[in-house]
Structure formats: structure tokens, C-alpha cells
Amino acid sequence: MTAIAMEHGLCLASILFALGLIGLLVRRNVLFMLIAIEVMLNAAGLAFVVAGSRWAQADGQAMFMFILAMAAAEVAVGLALILQMSQQFKTLDSDAASSMRG
Amino acid sequence: MLGLLWLIPLLPLLGFLVLATTGSRLSQPQVAGIGVGSVGLAALLASLVAWSFLTASPPGAAYAQTLWTWMAIAGFRPTVGLYLDALSLVMILVVTGVGLLIHLYAAEFMQPECCAPQLPRQFGAGEGYSRFFAYMNLFVGAMLTLVLADNLLLLYLGWEGVGLCSYLLIGFWYLEPANGRAARKAFLVTRLGDTAMAIGLFLLLTTLGTLDIQALMQRAAWTWPAGAGVATAAAALLLGGAVGKSAQLPLYTWLPDAMAGPTPVSALIHAATMVTAGVYLIARLHVLFTLAPAVQTTVAVIGALTLLLAGCSALVQRDIKRVLAYSTISQVGYMFLALGVGAWSAAIFHLMTHACFKALLFLAAGAVILGLHHEHNIFRMGGLWRRLPLAFITFLIGSASLAGLPLVTAGFYSKDLILWQTWASAQGSHWLWAAGVVGALLTALYSFRLVFRVFFGRLATPVSATPRWRIRLVLVLLALLSLVAGWLEVPETFSYLWSDSPTIFRHRTLFTDVLQTALPAPRVVTTSLKTELTMQMITGAVALGGILLAAIVFLRRPRAASEANQPAWWQAVYRLWFAGWGLDWLYDRGLVQPFVWLARANRDDVVDALYTGIARLSQRANRLLSQTQTGQVRWYAASMAAGAVLTVALVVFL
């Protein structure tokens, strides 16, 4: 099994992160924004795994487990909020929920 | 009997408490019963105390009663204690005696049907009645505290208490804005003096370590030589308080305006008792003033100037009560003159006789004012002697006493004593005596100007009401007192008038004999009986001449005496006198208007500009930053990302 170069792995991770960020910023549907956040989280997790494999340490994979668990919790809360939002505003447009404007 | 001393100030205070808490639910006779009764009981007790004090004099001719320690802070232990000696005995007799008579008079005078139009209707007719007696009782209680206090702190409490009551009662008819202004003016002007007095008290406390009057006087006499700087400063500061309270030059402007209050108030507070508190203060602290000869001379000069200036002003006033107010200022000036030359007991003697005849004058004037539907202008009075005979006779007696009609009136004996001691005393001078004699002439002139204007001539306003029994009783009693009070102190010369040997008409100086235990006799230089007799002749002749002159000017040719027929320079003088020598104008221009201008210039709080600037800056920053709070979650995410990039860039590149 040939090891993938760390640079490639990190490049992929940063591309994924950037894609997720762009998705977060350009989409107005909160559901898709949540998905974009998932992408960003997984990009971070990928960076951990790549780094762990580079130095042959299990810490990277352990950290990925944490991120997975946190992402699951986040999705649970996030989906509940989205549900509430769709009931309150009858829409999933994030710009519609801007009543906190200063 | 002396042990009951504490009840004397307490009874009026209790009366005040009862009237203040339940007054609105009581009927008028009940209110009058409580208001007059508490002062009456105090007067009864005072006379009992006086009897036992005079028959069985306590050791040291003084009786001290310590009720409790007020506070104890680091060696400063003022007590709530009463001190009765001959001086405070005379004062409590005057305050409770004259106070009782005036309360009795007011029970009639203040009835709503007598002065209904000036009382606020929204509280019902009885509201003013109980409020009036509550204030009056509080005043008597505070005044008794003042004169009985054994330390200066308690004296100051009473001093401020009477000031408060004076304010409340001047503004008693508060629906009239002018009355409120007069009350504020009286309060602020006397406060000016009181501030000086408070500083004087601090000075005495820090230098001598106590405020107990007897200990203070002893220590002052031990520690300070005559003319010491600290003694002079302390005496001058206390004099400031006395000048404010007693309406002397240059702070007398509040007293004529204080006549806005009801007439019994003018009689009790602004003639008989409160305005003489300054005289009492100086007499009480005579040791201190003896240690400061410069200040004592100032006292005499202030008294002489005040009696002259106020006498001139009294001569041209149109309002009957304002004439009496300037007359009060002038008579208190005589007391200051006596204090200034060291004739302490003469000052207190004049205080006592003045309390009787000036209260009588005010109350008789009140009967006239009531009879004429609240007419104060003496030019709209006239010919009243037939319509109001009792008011006429009593007013005549009061005026004669004020003018010092020889032999038969109390005012003659006290004023003569002051003038004689001004001449004879080592601290007196012939100039001061001359001022006093000119003042006596003025006094005779203005007092009989009133008599002739009000009671003689054409009937100008019809009489609508005649005084009832309570008013009549009080007038008669005070008239009697104004006649006989002088016999307490008969000049030495009189014992030789009818006989060569002084044994038949013994030289009677009851008043001075009693007061001698508390106040020293003046140091007399000349004691020739012949000189004294000459002086008395001059004083008597001046009084008679003044009355005669008044009769010629105001009775024979009232047209010629009216203002319009005078040359221009006389009219200017007239206006100056009418305005009380323009002191009001001076204070208005010199103090009030600059202050108002400053207040107006500082309306936007110039001093606060820095702080309001900071507050406004934060507000603007807040508004700017709150623009970033768009409420759009994507905007927040973008800023977070930008911030993260920026932070990383900083970490990497710096």
C-alpha cells in the first residue's frame, strides 16, 4: 500500500474546507448551509487523519472520532433549529430570519 | 419646681406633634384648645419656675438640667441639656407670656371666616387653622429650646428650628406666589448669617474643644487675651449669625418682606421673639464678645446705623405692617447698640419691653386690618378712632411706648437706660448716643405718623368688623404690660425727683438686680446724677418733640406732607428710603442677577462637557458598531472566516 503524500491530503482537505465555506456563504437555504458546515467539519477531520498517518500516530484518528461525535450532536441541534425556523417563518431562507438586526 | 424645666419646651413640641398628625380631623375649638393650651401650660410652668427661681435661688444662680447625651464622638459630647439662669429666665417668660397672648389672639384672628379668601379652598376651611397652630407651636418649642440650651449645638438646633418656622409661616398663604418669594428670601438671607455662625461654632469647637456654653466661656477667658485674633474671628462669625437673624445691617432686607405672613406671625416671630434671638446670642456669649473689643464696637456701630437707616425707611412706608417691620429693625438696632457698649442687661430690658409694645402694635394693627377687609395701605385708612375705639387706644399706648413717651410708658424706661449707658459706658461714645437720640426722634415721628394717619382725619374705608372678646382681651393685657413693664427698672435719678433723701423712693433696679447674676454691669465712666437727669430730659424732650412734630406735619396739614407736593430732591430721598436704602436693589444687581446669569450661562452644564462628551462618543461608536449587526447569519459567518484568515495571516507573516 503506497502512502499518499501528506501535501496531497492537506490540499484536498483545504479544497474541501474552502468549498464548504463558499457553500456556507453563498447558499441561503439553511439546510444546505448545514450540509456545507458538515463538509467543513469533515475537511478538518481529513486534515487530522492525514497528519496522523504522516507521523504514524493514532491521535489524528481519535480526534476524527471526536469530530464525528460533535458533528452528530451539531446536526441534531441544527435540525431541530431548522424545524423551528420553518415553523416560525414558513421558509428556510436564512436572510428572512434577520430580526436580530442591530 | 425647677425640675419641671424640661416640660416647658416639650409641651409646645407635643402640641405641634398632636396638631401635625391629627389636626385635620379636629374641630376648630379643639385645635385652638390644643394650640393655645400647650403654650398656656408652658407659660404657667415658666411662671412657676420663675417663682421658685427668684424666691429660692439655686446655687450659683443657675440651674442646669441634663436630659441625655446627644452623641459621643471622640471627646465631643454635646448633651441635650437645659440651662436656666436669669437671662434665660427672662427669655422664657417673654417667649411663653407674649406667645400665649398671641396664640390666644390668633385663635380668633385665624378663623376661616376672618381670612377665608386667602386660604386654599381645596383642603376645606379648617386646614389652614390647624396647620397654623401646628407651626406656631413648633416655633414656640424651637424658640424655648434656643433660649434654654446649655450648649451651642442645641442652641443652633433651636436657631434653625425658628428659622424653619419663620419660613413656613411667612409663606403660610401659599397660593400667592409673592408670599412664597418672601418666605424664600427670608430663609436664604438668614441662612447667609447662619452659615457664618456655623463656621464660628466649628472654630470654637476646634480651638477650645467644647460647645458647652459655660465651659466655653471659662476656657475662652482663660486661654485668650483680650483682642486675640481667634476670639475676634469667632465673635465676628457669630455676629454674622446674629445680624442675619435679627435683621440688622446689612442683612435686614428680609424682614419687611416677611410681613407677607399672617399678622400674629409678624407679632410673635418677626417682632417679639425670633428677631431678638441675635440679641440673646450675643448677651449669652458676652464673655467672648468682651474678649473681642473690635467686634463689640462693630456691634454698637451696626446697631446705631441700623436704627437710623430703618427709622428713616419706616417714616415713608405706606403699608402699616411694613412701617412696623422697619420699626422692629430699628428697635433691635437699639438692642445691638446697648450690647455693643456693654450694657447687656439694658439690651435685654429693651428686648422685653419691645416684645410687649411691638406685639401690641402688630396685634392692634391686625385688628384694624381685619376691620377694613385686609386693607394694609395707611393712606386708605383714617378717622378710625371713633369706629375702633379699643384698637385706637391700645395702638396709641403701643405707639407712645415705642416713641418713649416719658414716665408713663415702658419704652421710655428701657430706651432711656440704653441711651444713658451708651453715654456713660466706657465703651460708649457721644456719637453713638447722638445716633440713638436722632433715632428716638425718628421713632416718635414714624410711630405717631401711623397714629395720625390711621385713626385721625377723614374716614376713608368703612369698618366692616369689630374685634371680638379674645382679641380685645389680648390687646388690653398687652397694653397694660406696655405701660407697667418699665417700672421693673426705674432710673436712679427718679428717687431724687420728689425728695432729697433717696430712702423714700428707693432706687429700684429689680430687672438689673436679677440679671446681674448672669450679665455683668457695664463699666461706667461718668456717674453724675445731674448729667443723667439732663440726658433723661433730652430723651424725653426729643420724644415729645417728635410727637409734636408728627402732629404738626401729619395731623394739621396732611396735604403738604403727601409725596406729590414735594420738591424733586425730596422725592428722590423718599424713594430711596421707601426702598429701604436700596439694599434690595444692590443685592439684586450685585448677587441675584449675576447668579441668575451664571445659572443661565451654565444651563447646558459647561462643567459636565467632558463627561457628556465621553458619553456621546460611546453612543456614536455604539451606533456605528450596531450597523454590523445585520441579523444575517451568513454575514456573521463571512466575518468570522475573514477574522480567522486575518489572525492566521498575522501569526504566519509576523
* Interatomic CA distance for residues B453 and B553, integer angstroms: 11
CB contact under 8 A, B630 and A102: yes
* pLDDT of the residue at B161: 93
Helices (H) and strands (E) counted in chain A, each on its own, are 3, 0
Which residues in chain A are contacts of B638 at CB distance < 8 A?
Answer: 25
Mean pLDDT of the B120-149 span: 80
Q: Does A97 touch chain B (CB under 8 A)?
A: yes
- pLDDT category of residue B221 using cuts at 50, 70 and 90: confident
Residue B506: predicted pLDDT: 53
Q: How far apart are CA B50 and CA B42, in angstroms?
A: 12
The answer as to whether B516 is a domain residue is no
Contact A34, A24 (CB under 8 A): no
User: From the candidates B625, B628, B633, which should be mutated to test the interface with A, based on the most A CB atoms within 10 A?
Assistant: B633
Binding-site residues on chain B for chain A (CB distance < 8 A): 625-634, 637-638, 641
Could you tell me if residue B316 is inside a domain? no
Is A102 in CB contact (< 8 Å) with chain B? yes
Is B619 within a domain?
Answer: yes
| Residue B122 pLDDT | 47
Q: Containing domain of residue B610, as a range?
A: 604-653
* DSSP run (H or E) holding B292: none
Which residues of chain B neighbour A101 with C-beta distances below 8 Å?
A: 629-632
Q: What percent of chain B has pLDDT over 70?
A: 93
Tell which of A28, A33, A98 to mutate to test the B interface (max B CBs under 10 Å): A98
Angle between helices B344-371 and B320-340 (to 10 degrees): 180
CB-based contact B267:B358 (threshold 8 Å): yes
* Nearest chain A CA: its distance from B70 CA (Å): 60
- Give how far the C-alpha of residue B181 lies from the chain's centroid of Cα atoms, to the nearest Å: 18
Residue B504, pLDDT score: 44
Write out pLDDT tens, residues A2-45. 677 888 999 999 999 999 999 999 998 989 999 999 999 999 99
Which of B630, B638, B641 is opposite residue A101, by nearest beta carbon?
B630
Q: How far is A50 from chain B (nearest CA, A)?
A: 21
What burial class does residue B556 get, using C-beta atoms within 10 Å of its C-beta: 0-12 exposed, 13-18 middle, 19+ buried? exposed
Residue B509 pairs in a beta bridge with B489
Contacts of B626 in chain A (CB under 8 A): 102
Q: How close A102 comes to chain B (CA, Å)?
A: 5
Please state the rounded mean pLDDT for residues A48-74. Answer: 91
Q: Could you read off the pLDDT of B251-262 as tens digits, one per residue?
A: 888 898 888 888
pLDDT of residue B519: 79
Does residue B641 lie in a domain region?
yes
Residue type, A42: N
**Residues 6 or more apart whose Cβ sits within 8 Å of residue B22:** none
* pLDDT tens digit sequence for B355-378: 999 999 999 998 888 888 777 888
CB contacts of A34 in chain B (<8 Å) are none
pLDDT in tens, B497-550: 555 555 444 556 677 777 777 777 777 776 677 777 888 888 888 888 988 888
Run of H or E including B69: strand B62-69
pTM for the complete prediction?
0.79
SS3 letters for B385-425?
A: CCCCHHHHHHHHHHHHHHHCCCCCCHHHHHHHHHHHHHHHE
Using a 10 angstrom Cβ sphere, with 0-12 exposed, 13-18 middle and 19 or more buried, the burial of residue A96 is: middle
Among A9-13, B298-302, B425-429, B496-500, the range scoring the smallest mean pLDDT is B496-500
Residues of chain A contacting B628 with CB distance shorter than 8 Å: 102
Write the pLDDT tens digit of every residue in B181-217: 899 999 999 998 999 999 999 999 888 888 888 888 8
- Nearest-CA distance A101 → chain B (Å): 4
Q: Tell me the C-alpha to C-alpha distance, in Å, between residue B192 and each of A8, B64, B163, B298.
A: 91, 32, 12, 18
Q: What is the pLDDT of residues B477-491, one digit of tens each?
A: 989 988 888 777 777
Instruction: State whether B628 and A97 contact (CB < 8 Å).
Output: no
Q: Are A60 and A53 in contact (CB under 8 A)?
A: yes
Give the model's pLDDT for residue B508.
Answer: 62
Domain count, chain B: 1
Which of B124, B104, B122, B103 has the alpha carbon at shortest distance from B112? B124
Chain B residues lying within 8 Å of A33, measured CB to CB: 633-634
ipTM: 0.86
pLDDT tier at B40 (50, 70, 90 boundaries)?
very high
Chain B residue nearest residue A40, CA to CA: B641
Q: What average pLDDT does the structure give for chain B? A: 85
Tens digits of residue pLDDT in B315-341: 888 888 999 999 999 999 999 999 999
Domain for residue B348, yes or no?
no
User: Is B185 within a domain?
Assistant: no
**Are the beta carbons of B632 and A98 separated by less than 8 Å?**
yes
Please state, in angstroms and as integers, the Cα–Cα distance from residue A78 to each residue in A84, B493, B635, following that order: 10, 116, 18
Q: Which residue has the higher pLDDT, B562 or B531?
A: B531
